[in-house]
Structure 1
Amino acid sequence: MRGTLSARIEVLPTLDRAQLLATWAENFSYDPPPKLRKELMVALLAYRIQEKEFGGLSHTARRRLREIALTLKGEGPSQEKADSSPQSGARLLRLWHGETHEVIALGNGYEYRGQRYSSLSRIAREITGTRWSGPLFFGVRKP
């Protein structure tokens, strides 16, 4: 398939399955899955044609996408810890034994009742008198 990049991509949806398979063979070193829908084949071919023209994703981007995919499948390292810290300025409220406790997230810690704390767990311990996971206690992380 010759022509400008735009023209080569624009024509893909108009091709029949045999023509798409021929185009696939020009762009990939393996056969497509037998039950691949035409719409998805067109999208994959369009991406591959552009990738061959302009280059693909960097190694770092590919690795990060693999990590995300594994995390979504439940097989990779969880990003929960990194995501559990509330943004600076966020107010965290927790009702404990009939009393509402308010914590303000700061850039480098937390403020509770006018005092600065380095972690939510220290505040949770202050409130409950027992060891707690601070993020779990304040609901910023699921159990």
Structure 2
Amino acid sequence: MSRLQEQLDALASLSPVQLREKWNCIEGSTPPSVPPSLLRRLVAQRLQERRHGSLPARVTRELARVAKDGPGADPVHPRLELTPGTRLVREWNGLTISVEVLEEGFSWADRTWGSLSEIARHVTGAHWSGPRFFGLTSNV
């Protein structure tokens, strides 16, 4: 049995006072005012985070958003701010697409476009997310 597993198993037998002391030892702060059953889970989480690392910041933000807005809310995708003058370059089927970001819209093929998605649809002939087509978002 691993040292972590032994620590996790030992939490079940700790009194509320011992749990608060364990929290203080791990976190160096006063434990949150929660029932012992929840504090036990929080201490277990901290022990596991020390061993395996914590959740990525993106996951933590999404969990916080769901806790605030509820599970049925649409996920929030942060918008990337593109400054005018930025050039986006993408190769598609041997064609190099070079788009310049304008104050209002995008310049490509001697024309001003309202969105990157319009350009992506024109280039590919299919419905594409413009930011994804130009590599500005993850594929997640």
Larger-Rg structure: 1
Relative contact order: is structure 1 or structure 2 higher (C-alpha 8 Å, sep ≥ 6)? 1
**TM-score (norm: length of structure 2):** 0.49
